[in-house]
Structures are given as structure tokens and as C-alpha cells.
Structure 1
Amino acid sequence: MKNIKIILSLLVLTSITSCDEFLSETPDNRTKIDTPEKISELLVTAYPNATYMDIAETMSDNVFDSELSSVTQKNEQNYNWDMQTETDIDTQARFWNESYKAIASANQALAAIKELGDTPDLNPKKAEALLTRAYSHFMLVTFWANRYNPATAKTDLGIPYITEPETALIKQYTRNSVEEVFDLIQKDIEEGLKYVTNDYKELKFHFNKEAAKAFACRFYLVKGDWNRVLELSKDLGSAPAGKLRDYTVFNAFAFAQMPIEYSKEDKTTNLLVAYPYSIWRRAYSNRFYLTGNRQDEILGKDTNIFGKTWLTRTSGIYLGGINVFVNKFYEYFKYTNVTAQIGEPYTGVVLFSNDEMFLNRIEAHVMNNQIDVANSELEYFFSIRTTGYVAATDKLTQASIAAKYPVIDNEYTPFYALTPIQASYIKAIAEARRRDFIHEGIRWFDIKRFNIVVEHDTYTSGKVSRKNILVKDDKRRALQIPLSASNNGIEKNPR
């Protein structure tokens, strides 16, 4: 699909490095979007051309200090929950900027739909624009605001929620409250769900019906609306055979083919995939990563509920096993000058999957005190993730879950109360999610949602030289607003 170039004036929210270029154009000197086809082409740019995975994963408890000498400043700043000073590929500032650029495209599409009469035939395009706008705002508020808590959301600083196209050269924005942001996200999601379609040539690269439900499930899980999560995920059922990732099949592929298969559009579990500008595929060379000497803490058999080996396998073929990785990410390098061997890297990522939606469904059952159903579903999930699973003997009970995941006082502290049995099951689900989405940043969302304490040790010559602890309600859980935005009037997060 050809891209439509739009001149954006969202200077307050995007990088000011190209300020002169922006100022050389008038705000309305943009391609006129006056046909349904042009709206469709525009919506291709309504998905962020950046990934959050480097940011989120490095802040989580899935990474350790390998002491590799090839440390990058941005990697170290993520590890220490600091604001990054860099603004290039895979940085906090880039994800902020690209998210607001995507929002600008969605808003321009919605304005064009309105100008064309907002007719019923345009409803699928309106749905995609609303869902992409909601998604980018949701990711922004997830990273740059305090976790959602209805008791404080009215006063907690959120992010600017933009609903109109740019018409001013420089416009000042203020931060909506977290409550306002979540209300607006919910409004966009519900309106989008009414009209979302599967009528796409490349279905999984757009918000289709199932991807929209998966996004809504993630959103309502954060809000604590368990019934809505169950309603949206009901098509999965309690044993979604053939709908979740088959690691036996995945592991059988040749090493070079595995990352291509992981994010492939034809995989049933993959609901929304993307190829953003990213080098996350190369992250195994980062100093702060999943280290070989600590991998058993994440994927050792003691972390499996049945005490058996996970089907998820790590590889340490690079760097002599100092760092290890699950071979999930394929990098497509687009050459802009073949002779000079320069170009742009793009990495295949899965944004939403049946695997995540199923775990969210199980969590909703637990919170609705449907423990027997949760037992059955969690057992099914572990069965297709465990080597040597035996249905007759590998069974889950309340007693086995409580023994494997005992309640630890003040460990998991969401904004809602947990009974002891709920606390054990929630931990079991969170630990399953942690392993299933290793390297994908999902663990950070649970760390934030459940207010989990994280300790990051920095080593010098094999000894701890710095112990950095992210305590409960640590202000660093909300990323600091990028300088390009705060320098132009966006209020900073307290520190």
C-alpha cells in the first residue's frame, strides 16, 4: 500500500528536532483525504511505527545484569527506571512521538469520514480509526501515568487525549486525568466494537473483530470489569483447542524460520501483528537482558506448576550463552542504499493474541470466584506449555495452586481486594503470563497493575555494586514525560 504523507503540527507532543521543517509548511498543507480509499491508506499509518518492548521488558524483573561491555545508555536507563536521554530507535521518546503521530492519523481519518457524510459504508473505517486512537492512548497512559486506580484516577495525571486533527501551527496541550483518559478510551473502544470488520486483504495487520476484543479484554482487565472480560472472550471457551500457540510445532522449525513463524499472519493465535521500526531482534547483545546464569529463574522446571520442563526453549548461540533468548523476533532490513549497505530495520511483533486473551479470561474467572472453571482453564493452558504433560496425573487443585504460589503478605496489591485463594491463583496466572510473553514487555504491565516490587542489581567484576529497588507506589513506575513534550508545556511527572 502506498503511504500518504501528512504534515503534522503536533509539535508539543512530537520531537522538535525537525522544527524548521514543520514550520516551513502551513498546518493545512496536507494531502486531502476525500475518498474511502484514501482513508484506508491513511489508516495504515494509524499504528505506532515503534515498539514499547525494549522499554517495558528492560524495566521488568525478566532481565539481569550480564556485565557485557557493550552497554548502551538507553538500555541502562531503562534498567534503572530513568528517563532516557536518547530519542532514536526503541526509545521512550520515540514511542511517545510515534504514538501521537498514529493518533493524528486516526483523527484525520475520522474528520474525513465526517466530511464524507459519516455514511454506514464508512463504519468499518471509523471503527478502525477509533480503535487505533484508543490503543495508542491506552499504551501512552499505561507507561506515562500512575496505574489505574478508581480511588485516585480523578486526580492522577494522565496524558493528553487528542480527538481532533491539528489546525494550529503550535497548540498547547494539557494532561487529562487518568479517569478522563480511561473514559475516553472506553468510549472509543465500545463505539469501535460496534462496527469493526474482518474485511481486510491483510487481516492481522488491522484491528479486526478478534483483535478488537483482545484489546478490550486487556483494557477491562485493568479496570477490573471481570464480566466484560468474560463476555468479550467467550468464543475461546475453556479449552480453545487449535486457537493457542502450539510450541511443539514452533520448536520443530529450523532456527532461522522460528522468528518468521512466531509473528506470522496465518497463526490462529496471532490477532494483531505489526512490523514497526525497531532493532529489538538484536537485544540479546544488551548488557541488561535475560542472562544465561539466571534463565532458570524464569524458565527452569521449578517454575512450572507440574515441575516439568517448559516447551518454551531459550537459545544462547550468540555471546557464548552469556545472554539467552526465545527466538521470537524476525527483523526485516529494508535497504535504502544496497551499495552502501544502509537501510531501515523493522521487527515483526505480536500486539494481541489468543494466548493473552485466554489468560485474561482465566483471571476474570478467578476474580468472579469461579475457581473450578479457572482450574480447568489454567490446567489446559499449562498442559500445552509443558513437556511430558500427562493428563491422568498432572492435575491442578486449589491445594496445589496454594502450595506452589503461597500468599505472601503485601506482594500483589491491585486496587481491589484479593482473598487468599484469589491471591494464589492471580500469582499463578501472572507467572504463566510472565513466561509466555518473555521479551514482549507484558510482564511490566503486571508489575505495574499489581504494584509488584522489583530489584535490579548492577554488577562490577561479579559483585553487586548497586542495588536499585522499585518499591510499592514508586514514582518511577510512571515514565517521565519526554523532554520534547515537557519543554513545550506538558506537565512533568513528580519525582
Structure 2
Amino acid sequence: MKNIKYIKITLALLLIITLSSCDEFLSEVPDNRTQIDTPDKISELLVNAYPEASYLDFAETMSDNVADAGLNNSNIKNEQSYYWEMHDQTNVDSEGNYWDACYKAIAHANQALESIKKLGDPAGLNPQKGEALLARAYAHFMLVTFWSNRYNPATAAKDLGVPYVTEPETELLKSYKRNSLQEVFDFIQKDLEEGLRYVTNDYKEPKFHFNKEAANAFASRFYLVKGDWDKVLSVSASLGSKPEGKLKDYATLSSLAPDVQFIEYGKSSYSANLLIASPNTLVARSASGSNYYLTDGKQTELFGAQTSFYNKPWLFDFYSYNSSSTLFTPKFEEYFKYTNLTANIGIPYAGVVLLSNDELYLNRIEALVMKGRVEEANTELEYFLGTRTAGYNPATDKLTEAKVVAKYPVIADEFTPFYSLTALQTSYIKAIAEARRRDFVHEGLRWLDVKRFNLVVSRNDPGNPVKTLAKDDKRRALQIPLSASNYGIEKNSR
């Protein structure tokens, strides 16, 4: 086990953001409001159309990627997420903070779209229009992913979604109602597909905006949830077969020192990274401050050599802070902005990868399986796993249907999406989900698969009764934050 020293930064941070909050120029009376009336101003506005908070910590902790490390700490949010309880805090990395940040991002996207409309909706502003539509669709998708039931076309018209906001906020405390889950998905698809027509790569820093590739990666995630395999294959077609140079280069990353890996993982220069954000988050410190995190036992369960199809070590590196019993792989570099040097307080940020070619490629492989193109999917999955395996030899390290079925046999009532699976598809879907689980450890995407496939998660903590998140458990949809329910947003049933 590798250990690195860690110096903890004292933090005093208070965020008070309500559902109806917006920047000062959006809440001032019209006579004093900054006029968003030029392409440059609209582009500047769209910088804020991405959530400035993070879901990574609470989503990861709700999943089966973590366990009880037996640490004596008081990270209340971490414990509440672990047991699928509503956060009673609204500060950094809380559920309520992310909800507010998403609607704040949506408010900026809507103001940009309104300004474009007032300028006559000229074709010259189509790139900004495309970015605004995609940003609005993305924020709503993440909201409905966490705060609603999983998508099922048979029940979506009756299930509660989230408020889909399409107009700038002009009232201080406007009343909103939740759209149905189906309505939200229809709105997302409309915004997404229109945005795909207009989006460009014409930015000074394209990886910090919805560019064409990032838009396709988001579209693949959305269509995967809907079960629209043809569209997943369409938006991922540019990757081609065995996309050399387009995936994370773990062979190189694993050769670097951990302090360098922190920076390298989220760099915009990596072709694999498609959309990068710098939200206010403490996720870079999770391994040192969280009891419910990646433990030694979980690390062995997920990343031991015996878990590889090729019986070789994975290329993922793991470290601990000062011999802590929780582990991390270097992904998040923290940037601390001091607001008061004398008091040693400020705001932490971290560079995170929101969308990548790695996810897009796995989504494509899953769609190939669901279309019955298993032989093609096997070829692509063999290549993907090889890029994550130490000493991989493409001439001798082969993936076969027999290996996939043997390693991931069908278990009755385990993977239960809303659509049917054959036995062979079930084994391959599980293999892909496990590959995704490892690739995006710490990044929260495992929770999306737990929810999409209706997977059961159990908490086997020593000395305590086993606690289980059963199939269709109502806690899979987070409870609406008080900042929203206090203003009339209907709560989820419990």
C-alpha cells in the first residue's frame, strides 16, 4: 500500500442559495440590470450555465463502491448518504447544494436563450443557443436522475419528475410544480437534439463548454437510460472500433507520482476528457475525512488481480492518507481560493471530468450488446479492458463469450432494467457495468447504474443489522430539499 502525507486545510464555508436565487444582475430591477444584448455578453453568461456544485461525493457514497472503514469521525453527510437518508445540511457537497446549483445553472441558460430570442434569434448566435440548450438539458437530467424514480416508459407518465424550467426567473419567489417524469424526459430530448444541431467546438477552452464531442457523450448517457440503442450507436459512431488514443492512457498515468496524477487525470489536453468543470467541492479530501469510502476490503473486491479477465493486475493505483484505512486513486486536484488569509478560510474547488470518451465507449459497447451485436461488443470490450490491464498482450489475452458467462453468470432477479435481457446479454451487461464501476470509482456514476438496473445494495456493518436498499425502494429517489419543498415543491413519498 502506498502512503502520502496530507495536510488538512481548515475550512469555514457557508453557502446560502435558494431555488429562486440568481446572480445580482438577474435579481435587480430592470433599470439597473446588466443588459445581455451582445454575443460576447451571452457567451460570458453561459460560463455560469453549469452546476457550480458537485454530486460526486453523495452519489458515490450511496452506491456499493464503499463500506464502513471503522473510523471515528463526524462527517454527518457521509453517514446519511451511506444509509440513504436525506441530508440535513445544505453546505458543500450536500444534496440540497447540488439541487440549488443545478437550478442556478438553468437560470443562466434560460437568460441566455431569452437574450438570443430578443436579438431576433440570428443564425450567428446558434453556437450560444446550442450550448444553452445542452446546459439546460444536462442540469435537468442530473436533477431528475437523483430526485425521481428511475425511468420506465410504462410508469413515467405517472411518476413525479422535477420542475422543468424554461423561462428566466422574473419573480422573487415563483411557484413551481413538478412535471411528470415523462414530460421531463421529453423536454430533455427536445433541448438535447436541438442543441446537438447547433453546438460547435469554437471556444478558447472547448473542454469547459458543451462542445460537439461532449454533447454526444451526454446524449449517449441519456439515450442509454431511455433504452434507445440506435441513437446511442449514432452519437458514438465517431469513436469507431478500438479508438486508439481516445481513451484514458492508464499505462502512462500509473507511471506518474500521485501528486502528478491528481493534475493529469482531469487535464483538458487529454483527448479522453470531453467536459471538465471546477465546482465548489471537498471531494478531493473524501478519502481522509469519510468513514464510508473505499476500504481495503472494497479495493480488493473491485481491483484485485482475481477480478480481471486476464488474471493480471489493473493499472489503477491506490493510496492512503497517513496510513488511513480508506483508499483513493488520484483523480481530483483541489484548488483553494482564500477569502480571508488571516482567518485561513476560503472556498475549495476541484477539477472534475463530467463527460468522457471512456463513458461514451462503454455506452456504445452496451448498445451493441442490446442490439444483438455481441461479437462486435466482445471485440470492443476486450480492447477497453486491455487498456486498463498491466502487461496486457493483445495476442494472448483474449476475451470470449465463455469467459464472460463464467465470470458473470446470470443471477435471478439481479439486473432488472425496464427492458428484457437474454441470458447472454445479462452476462455482458454485467461485465460492462463492472468495467464502468471500476473506471469511474469516486465519480458517482456507479449510483446511476445501481438505479438504472435496480440493483440491491446492502450495508454489512459489523455489530449492526444488515441494512438493504431493496429493488424499487423509495429512497432511490432523493427527498426534495427543504429549500424547494418549503416553497411548494411536492415531496417524494416515503
What TM bracket, shorter-length normalisation? over 0.9
2:420 is aligned, of 417, 421, 438, to 417
1:395 is aligned, of 392, 395, 398, to 398
Which moved further from structure 2: 249-258 or 72-81? 249-258
In the alignment, what sits opposite 2:431? 428
In the alignment, what sits opposite 2:487? 488
**Partner deviation per Cα, 1:256-293 (whole Å, 9 max, x = no partner):** 11111000000010000010001100000201000123
Are the aligned partners of 1:27 and 1:169 in contact in 2 as well (CA < 8 Å)? no
Are the aligned partners of 2:25 and 2:34 in contact in 1 as well (CA < 8 Å)? no
In the alignment, what sits opposite 1:124? 127
In the alignment, what sits opposite 1:296? 300
1:340, CA displacement in angstroms? 3.2
Q: Which amino acid aligns with 1:251?
A: S
The question of 1:473 aligning with 2:472 is answered: yes
Distance 1:51 1:28 in 2: 35
SS of residue paired to 1:480? coil
Distance 1:443 1:27 in 2: 45
Q: Which amino acid aligns with 1:43?
A: L
Distance 2:94 2:252 in 1: 34
In the alignment, what sits opposite 2:189? 186
Distance 2:399 2:164 in 1: 44
SS of residue paired to 1:332? strand
2:257 is aligned, of 254, 257, 263, to 254
1:424, CA displacement in angstroms? 0.1
In the alignment, what sits opposite 1:267? 270
Which moved further from structure 2: 61-70 or 463-472? 463-472
| RMSD, matched Cα | 1.7
Distance 1:429 1:145 in 2: 25
In the alignment, what sits opposite 1:35? 38
In the alignment, what sits opposite 1:229? 232
Q: Which amino acid aligns with 1:479?
A: L
Distance 1:22 1:357 in 2: 37
**Partner deviation per Cα, 1:421-441 (whole Å, 9 max, x = no partner):** 000000000000000000000
2:65 is aligned, of 26, 43, 62, to 62
Q: Which amino acid aligns with 2:340?
A: N
SS of residue paired to 1:272? strand
Q: Which amino acid aligns with 1:441?
A: G
**Partner deviation per Cα, 1:158-211 (whole Å, 9 max, x = no partner):** 000000011222211100000000000000000000010000001100000000
In the alignment, what sits opposite 1:328? 331
SS of residue paired to 1:155? coil
Distance 1:45 1:288 in 2: 32
Q: 1:50 to 1:131 in 2, by over 3 A?
A: same
Give the structure-2-normalised TM-score. Answer: 0.94
Structure 1 residues without counterparts, runs of 5 or longer: 1-9
In the alignment, what sits opposite 1:464? 463
In the alignment, what sits opposite 1:7? none
Structure 2 residues without counterparts, runs of 5 or longer: 1-16
1:392, CA displacement in angstroms? 2.2
In the alignment, what sits opposite 1:159? 162
Q: Which amino acid aligns with 2:165?
A: I
In the alignment, what sits opposite 1:5? none
- Give the share of equivalent positions with the same residue, in percent: 62
**Partner deviation per Cα, 1:299-323 (whole Å, 9 max, x = no partner):** 111221222110111112x141400
In the alignment, what sits opposite 1:305? 309
Are the aligned partners of 1:27 and 1:166 in contact in 2 as well (CA < 8 Å)? no
Distance 1:23 1:252 in 2: 48
**Partner deviation per Cα, 1:80-118 (whole Å, 9 max, x = no partner):** 101100000000000000000000000000000001111
Distance 2:480 2:313 in 1: 42
In the alignment, what sits opposite 2:358? 355
Distance 1:83 1:215 in 2: 27
Distance 1:176 1:293 in 2: 42
In the alignment, what sits opposite 2:4? none
Q: Which amino acid aligns with 2:386?
A: S
**Partner deviation per Cα, 1:114-138 (whole Å, 9 max, x = no partner):** 0111100000000000000000000
Q: Which amino acid aligns with 1:344?
A: I
Q: Which amino acid aligns with 2:300?
A: D
Q: Which amino acid aligns with 2:227?
A: G
Distance 2:26 2:226 in 1: 41
SS of residue paired to 2:464? strand
Distance 1:443 1:76 in 2: 18
SS of residue paired to 1:340? coil
2:372 is aligned, of 360, 369, 372, to 369
2:346 is aligned, of 343, 347, 355, to 343
Which moved further from structure 2: 143-152 or 395-404? 395-404
Show the 5 A alignment for 1:10-21.
Answer: 13=19
SS of residue paired to 1:271? strand
Q: Which amino acid aligns with 1:95?
A: Y
Q: Which amino acid aligns with 1:291?
A: T
Give the structure-1-normalised TM-score. Answer: 0.94
Are the aligned partners of 1:23 and 1:169 in contact in 2 as well (CA < 8 Å)? no
Distance 1:169 1:255 in 2: 47
In the alignment, what sits opposite 2:10? none
1:341, CA displacement in angstroms? 2.5
In the alignment, what sits opposite 2:284? 281
Q: Which amino acid aligns with 1:313?
A: D
1:47, CA displacement in angstroms? 0.3
Distance 1:322 1:386 in 2: 25
Are the aligned partners of 2:20 and 2:174 in contact in 1 as well (CA < 8 Å)? no
Q: Which amino acid aligns with 1:468?
A: K
**Partner deviation per Cα, 1:356-415 (whole Å, 9 max, x = no partner):** 000000000000000010010000001111112122221111111100100000000000
1:457, CA displacement in angstroms? 2.9
1:207 is aligned, of 181, 205, 210, to 210
1:24, CA displacement in angstroms? 9.1
Are the aligned partners of 1:430 and 1:446 in contact in 2 as well (CA < 8 Å)? yes
Q: How many residues align?
A: 476
Which moved further from structure 2: 285-294 or 480-489? 285-294
1:466, CA displacement in angstroms? 3.5
Are the aligned partners of 2:65 and 2:298 in contact in 1 as well (CA < 8 Å)? no
1:30, CA displacement in angstroms? 3.3
**Partner deviation per Cα, 1:43-92 (whole Å, 9 max, x = no partner):** 00000000100110000000000121113111111001011000000000
Distance 1:315 1:196 in 2: 40
In the alignment, what sits opposite 2:6? none
**Partner deviation per Cα, 1:443-466 (whole Å, 9 max, x = no partner):** 0000000000001233xxxx3314
